[in-house]
Structure 1
Amino acid sequence: MQTDVYSAVTFIQIVVLCVLGIVLLSFRIRSEDKTFNLRLARGLLALSYFMLALPAIIEYFFDGGFNLMWVEIFTPPGSAIQSMFFAITFLTILQPALITRNQILLHLAVVLGAIILYLVAAFNVQNYKWVIHIGVAAYFCLLFIYTRYFIKKYQVSLRRLEEYYDEDEQGRLKWVKISFFAALSLGIIASGSAYFPFRIYVCFVVTYILFYSWFAIRFINFLARSDFYIAATAYEPEHLTPEIIIESDPVKEKKLENSLKQWVLDEGYKKGDISTEEVARLLETDLPFFRNYFHNHMPCDFRTWRNELRIKKAQELIADHPESSLNQIAQEVGFITKSNFYLYFKKTTGQSPADYRDQIAAKK
């Protein structure tokens, strides 16, 4: 019975991982200089899926024909390569336009060079287990470095997105953080999975199949909307700084005031995924003057002001169309994530959207 279950789980593992790898490779990314990192990350991620399937293929088709010594020796470098491929993928998601190909290729060369030295030592030292211990220690050091670097770049990427779009973007990047630490945990657990009891091992395999399937889908969704991230990360930060001295110009200020009134009448605030610079350009001004105007002539900054307009419109839609879903209303008024909508709605009105709808219904 256990043999049949193990064979079935192994076969499913092979099929799912290989199919996901093929799907990743077949997803088309336009060939441009700015998409090189995305194409490289896609290829490395697909390769990591095939690498994950390789031991299962050997196990399934060659009746577990593993040499224990080889398994012990190749586990640390295999785990290190997997971690490296995933780390590059995550960094590309966070900063698709800032991680250079030279940085990626140099890191690949360093890690692969260290792995070659490790393998040479492991196969030429009589007590190879000492080399394995060193390899495992180096693997965990690599994980520590990747984790610190990821946390740092995550904060940088989040700040850039929020500066560029003048939106709270934590909800949009939350899946990246969850995925990173889930992959990190699974990688650590996988290094000792060969010693698990049968039932725990099967549960672990099912768990990581589900995770890698989910991650592949999220990564493809990211690729489909990569322009959103590239635009923000490629933007020069000095252009985003509001601490620029702008001379007062009553004529330009009056023109911008009228343009803002018309923009509100046209419900321009309902358009999401648009940078503040694009809004300023639509209003026929530049970003420094636009931000300076809000600083000197408006009660709050542009982000807060736009969100207040969105919440006001959402209140109208909830009152007029109580049968509409709140998520649909959130998207209609310009909120990209429902978490931001619920947060700002409660912050502005003092109650949740659902409570507000119930209150409107009770009055009727």
Structure 2
Amino acid sequence: MEKIDISAAVVLLIMAFVLVSVKIPNDERWCAIRRMNRLLFACYICIGVSNIITGVCGVDTQPDPVMWLAMLLVSMYQAFLFTGTCVTFLSPQRVGVKWLSVNAVVITLVNIASFWAFFSNERSAAWISTVDAVLYSAQLVYYCYLFRKAYVESRRCLEASYDEDMSARLRWITMCFISALTVGICALLFAVLRLGATEYAAFTCIATVYYVYLVICMINYRIRAGFIVKVVAAAPTAQTAEDSAPVESMDSAEEHQLQAAIKKWVDNKRYVQDDQTVEEIAAELGTSHAMMKWYFTNRMHTTFRTWRIELRVAEAKRLLGEAGVSTAMVHKMVGIADKSNFHKHFQKYVGMTPREYQVSMKQGKG
């Protein structure tokens, strides 16, 4: 049992220094991520030291009320930090110093009250654990609501900015939160079911795997999530009257200019670029988002999203007809980050999967 605690401590301390080595930009938009990275570092150091102490002192093989109580109270802090990290991944501006401070103070007060009540009357351990279990359950429910709200708002904001379905690109953050929630529920079951040292060892292994996974998520966020930070964490700017007001018409000179810009944009295959917001594309075309939306609706009788998907599918068909192009990589070559989204669009417009299309092209040439 002691070996498990010591091993977990070694892993945690290694992961803590991996977190320190993650180079997060000094840009103001990354401030919340840097803050959570530092808090996770401190958390990993504390849990690692705690595991070393437990490993050296040993764990009572019999069910222990102190162990149940400590598990609940420590899990409150973990749920707070892990949820804060996942919500920050989605919506960096939502988890500020005030939110962190209020949650930390409330959890600390619950800890102080619980330990004071326990040491005042050790026979009250059962009802104290019950009260804390109820409070911890309420905390998990609140954090689920908070994460869900952040997810919906972040996805809506990203889809409005990129004019693409973002559910697949946010899936890994959802999995990160669900994994944290699973660890939290395991801690709750441990305390509620009054489990002993064997189950504690199993929980330590499960939690350690999650600690490693969360560090991997932090590294992945730094590498892959620039598209989130660029939009969601950007400082809000006041829209101009031209952008905020609906466009009723365009004069012929503007239409011809935009038509020529769109043709050039297509000829240069700019539609295969990913992580460009619609505002950035409109600026590249020499117009505004509102003007571009009006033109696509009234002159091309489609939406920019549908039109760009059709161009990307057409380009994918061209690429799949060439020798040596892998169906596993073609989605990235046409600017669609998620493979499942690409397959869905390709089947909708072509009527077959990319692999089936590639085979049919080879047979046709044969």
Query: Do these two structures clear the TM 0.5 threshold for a shared fold by scoring above it?
Result: yes
State the 1:227 CA deviation. 3.3
Q: Is the 8 A contact 1:44 1:89 kept in 2?
A: no
Cα distance between partner residues in 1 of 2:340 and 2:326 = 14
Map of 1:305 onto structure 2: 307
Among candidates 144, 168, 180, match of residue 147 of structure 1: 144
Q: Separation in 2 of the partners of 1:299 and 1:237? A: 31
Alignment of 1:279-294 (within 5 A): 279-294=281-296
Which residue of 2 is the match for residue 295 of structure 1?
Answer: 297
* Map of 2:48 onto structure 1: 53
Aligned-pair identity in percent equals 27
Find the residue that maps to 1:172 and give its secondary structure. coil
The answer to whether the 8 Å contact 2:65/2:126 transfers is no
1:235-246 maps to which residues of 2 (within 5 A)? 236=236, 244-246=246-248
Alignment partner of 2:74 out of 78, 93, 108? 78
CA contact (8 A) 1:162 1:168 kept: yes
Q: Find the aligned partners of 1:345 and 1:260 in 2 and give their Cα distance.
A: 23
CA deviations over 1:266-322 (Å, ceiling 9, x no partner): 00001101101101111111111111111111232111111111110110010013x
The aligned runs of 1:28-47 (5 Å cut-off) are: 28-47=23-42
Query: 1:195 corresponds to which residue?
Result: 195
1:348 shift after superposition = 1.3
Q: Partner letter of residue 350 of structure 2?
A: T
Q: Which amino acid aligns with 1:186?
A: V
- Aligned partners of 1:351, 1:90: CA distance in 2, in Å? 37
Q: Structure 1: 5+ residue runs without aligned partners?
A: 1-5
Within 5 Å, give how 1:105-254 maps onto structure 2.
Answer: 105-126=101-122, 127-193=124-190, 195=195, 198=198, 204-234=203-233, 236=236, 244-254=246-256
Aligned in 2, Cα 1:109/1:249: closer, same or farther, shift over 3 Å?
Answer: farther
CA spacing shift, 1:274–1:196, aligned 2, 3 Å: farther
Deviates more, 1:295-304 or 1:132-141: 295-304
Amino acid at match of 1:34: R
Distance 1:50 1:191, change over 3 A: farther
Distance change in 2, residues 1:176/1:306 (3 Å): same
- The aligned counterpart of 1:341 is 342
Separation (CA, whole Å) in 2 of partners of 1:7 and 1:111: 29
The 2-side partners of 1:197 and 1:114 are apart by 25
Q: Sort the Cα spacing of 1:244 and 1:107 in 2 relative to 1 into closer, same or farther, 3 A.
A: farther
Q: What amino acid is the match of 1:163? A: A
The answer as to 2:104 corresponding to 1:103 is no
Cα distance in 1, alignment partners of residues 304 and 117 from structure 2: 61
Cα 1:36–1:276 change in 2 (3 A) is same
Does structure 1 residue 326 correspond to structure 2 residue 323?
A: no
Q: What's the TM-score, normalizing by structure 1?
A: 0.89
Note the C-alpha offset of 1:243: 7.2
Q: CA deviation at 1:226?
A: 4.2
Task: Specify the SS of the correspondent of 1:123.
Answer: helix
Task: Determine which of 19, 30, 46 is the counterpart of 1:24.
Answer: 19
Contact map agreement 1:98 1:234 (CA 8 A) in 2: no
Question: Are residues 100 and 24 of structure 1, via their aligned partners in 2, closer, same or farther at CA, if it must alter by over 3 Å?
Answer: same
SS in 2 for 1:169: coil
Q: 1:92 to 1:182 in 2, by over 3 A?
A: same
Single out whichever of 278-287 and 221-230 deviates more from structure 2: 221-230
Q: Identify the range of structure 1 (336-345 vs 139-148) with the bigger mean alpha-carbon deviation.
A: 336-345
- Whether the aligned pair in 1 keeps the contact of 2:246 and 2:290 (CA below 8 Å) is yes
- Using the TM superposition, name which of 108-117 and 331-340 deviates more: 108-117
Q: Is the 8 A contact 2:2 2:55 kept in 1?
A: yes
Partner amino acid for 2:250?
A: S
**Please, what is the CA RMSD of the aligned residues?**
2.6
* Structure with more relative contact order (C-alpha pairs < 8 Å, separation 6 or more): 2
Q: Secondary structure of the equivalent of 1:113?
A: helix
Pairwise CA distance, 1:163: 0.9
Structure 2 length-normalised TM: 0.88
Which amino acid in the other structure matches residue 256 of structure 1? Answer: L
Say whether the 8 Å CA contact 2:11–2:208 is kept in structure 1: yes
Structure 2 residues not aligned, in runs of 5+: none
- Please state how far the C-alpha of 1:105 moved relative to its aligned partner: 2.3
Deviates more, 1:347-356 or 1:27-36: 27-36
Contact 2:2/2:59 (<8 A) preserved: no
- Spell out the pairing of 1:61-72 with structure 2 (5 A cutoff): 61-64=56-59, 68-72=64-68
Moved more, 110-119 or 181-190: 110-119
1 CA distance for matches of 2:321 and 2:206?
44
1:18 and 1:112 map into 2 onto residues whose CA distance is 24
Deviation at 1:20, TM superposition (A): 1.0
